[in-house]
Amino acid sequence: TIKSIYGRRVWDSRGNPTVEVDVTLDNGLVGRAIAPAGASRGSREAIDLRDGGVALRGKNVMQALDSVNGPIAAAMRGMEVQDQQAIDNALLALDSSSFKEVLGGNATVATSLAVLHAAAADTGKPLWRHVADLYNCTPSIPLPEIQIFGGGAHAGRRVDIQDFMIMVPGASSFDEVMEVTSEIYFAAGDILASRGKAAGVADEGGWWPMFDSNEEALETLVLAIEKAGEKPGDRVVISLDIAASEFAKKGRYRLALEDREMDSSALIEMLGGWLNDYPIVSIEDPVSEDDPEGMAEFTRRFGDQVQIIGDDYLVTNATLVEEAAAAGACNAVLIKVNQAGTVSESIDTYLAAQKAGWGAVVSARSGESEDTSISHLATGLGAGQLKVGSFQRSERMAKWNECLRIQEQLGAGSFVGGASLRRTWWG
């Protein structure tokens, strides 16, 4: 039974204030979680309640903490910690707004996840096992998507495309993925440095590159994979997050780096060209959240060839997943718990994706912390894929390292590898 809930202000990986929640049980056990924060946010996702004004650039979270320590704490006291659905329903009863603007999605997500942790502690299980048992899933270690170059909103819009990532579906263990990634990450850094194109690292730890075109990032990524001794498209493949909503305006797409503007079909044409020229197996938000025709068209044309993930497009919303599936838009969903605002709503979205025969990628935000809940969620659900950012900065490495620990508990054979991707996409 929940004895008390306490929210405190902590600081995220970008140095912004965020919400941490402790859930204490009658038996003294504690569950804790920290709300992450996005920068390239979908317009339909749960909002982070921020205080506004000038202090802390308007980003303070004292109102969200008031939600936790006031109405949320009062409602949760005495509730059964094992009943995650009832807990999340209670949060929804306190805030029935569309985007959780009453309590703040940052308040609800930290609470909901902290309850999940407390429930795991209560049963004496690791979090991944608790998740697997609670939702009747077969746990497995996910295949990571790891960023090598950061762009878009995470790198001062130096390049328009947001994430240039690798996946290592040909690896036979999570360890092997880490090893291969390290080689490629530093090979990419060396190439940038030797060409005078390194500007440091972006928000998620990927290199912040000074490229002259978006495609130069792809060419350089292929080179880095080769330099690391790999054959691109073999053990290692490429994954992109276009995050097209970020450069869309009134139905047009503007690539600032190349001083180029195009309509939806020209963008689809350009991306289709990349799919043919590079070993890309996955692409996220290829068109904007306001371009359903474009998304359906892209999926119709390339859905057999690559994984097409909706992030801003679906905002971890079960209804949006059902509608998109019916419209033939996307074939995979990104699961970000704070887009939904509660664990239960995120699980509903995951289940809707499964029902549609879609893939699922559990994902971090660009603003993160030492919280490793998503490593456990991805594993416990057996979701198949995990997107955390790059291979630098401890808020990223904490998640990868946690997967290594979980792999020891689950056994080496528990890594899904390329099985999480459709055969026609890879291998």
Amino acid symbol at 26: D
CB atoms under 10 Å from CB of 408, counted, come to: 11
Residues of this chain, 4-43, that bind ligand PGA according to CB under 6 A: 38-41
Name which position in 88, 311, 345, 395 contacts ligand PGA (CB under 6 A).
311
Q: Which is nearer to Zn ion, 153 or 325 (CB)?
A: 153
Which of Zn ion, ligand PGA, none is residue 399 near (CB under 5 to 8 Å by kind)? none
Q: Which is nearer to ligand PGA, 149 or 235 (CB)?
A: 149
**Token match 């497995």: residue?**
140
Residue of this chain nearest to ligand PGA (CB atom)? 38
CB of 253 to ligand PGA, least distance (A): 16
Asked about 336 being catalytic, the answer comes back as yes
Structural contact between residues 2 and 115, judged by C-beta atoms closer than 8 angstroms? yes
Report the b/e string of 70-93 with b at 16+ CB within 10 A.
Answer: ebbbebbeebebbebeebbebbbe
- Measure the CA angle with vertex 51, ends 49 and 56; round to 5°: 115
CB of 142 to Zn ion, least distance (A): 17
- The DSSP symbol for 57 reads G
User: CA 354, CA 359: separation in Å to the nearest integer?
Assistant: 7
Tokens standing for residue 135: 């939702």
User: CA 183, CA 54: separation in Å to the nearest integer?
Assistant: 43
**Token match 């002259």: residue?**
212
- Sheet of strand 260-263, all strands in order from the earlier edge strand to the far edge: 248-249, 252-255, 260-263
Binding of Zn ion at residue 241 (CB under 5 A)?
yes
Q: Which is nearer to Zn ion, 339 or 375 (CB)?
A: 339
Q: Which is nearer to ligand PGA, 168 or 243 (CB)?
A: 243
Q: Which is nearer to Zn ion, 12 or 311 (CB)?
A: 311
* Phi and psi based region of residue 49 (left: phi greater than 0; alpha: psi -120 to 50; beta: remaining): beta
Binding of ligand PGA at residue 296 (CB under 6 A)?
no
CA dihedral (357, 404, 114, 61) positive or negative: negative
Binding of ligand PGA at residue 160 (CB under 6 A)?
no
Which of Zn ion, ligand PGA, none is residue 38 near (CB under 5 to 8 Å by kind)? ligand PGA
Name which position in 365, 376, 399, 422 contacts ligand PGA (CB under 6 A).
365
Asked about 204 being catalytic, the answer comes back as yes
Judged by CB under 5 A, the stretch of 74-82, 164-172, 227-235, 283-291 that binds Zn ion is 283-291
The single residue of 336, 368, 395, 399 carrying the catalytic annotation is 336
Binding of ligand PGA at residue 48 (CB under 6 A)?
no
Q: Which burial class, exposed, middle or buried, applies to 227 when counting CB atoms under 10 A from its CB (0-12, 13-18, 19+)?
A: middle
Q: Which is nearer to Zn ion, 12 or 289 (CB)?
A: 289
Judged by CB under 6 A, the stretch of 13-21, 57-65, 318-326, 359-367 that binds ligand PGA is 359-367
Has 260 been labeled as part of a binding site?
A: no
User: CA 254, CA 263: separation in Å to the nearest integer?
Assistant: 9
Has 366 been labeled as part of a binding site?
A: yes
Tokens standing for residue 87: 């807990």
* Catalytic residue annotation: 204, 336
Residues that constitute the known binding site for Mg(2+) = 241, 284, 311
- Chain residues binding ligand PGA by CB under 6 A are 38-41, 153, 162, 241, 243, 311, 363, 365-366
- Chain residues binding Zn ion by CB under 5 A are 241, 243, 284, 311
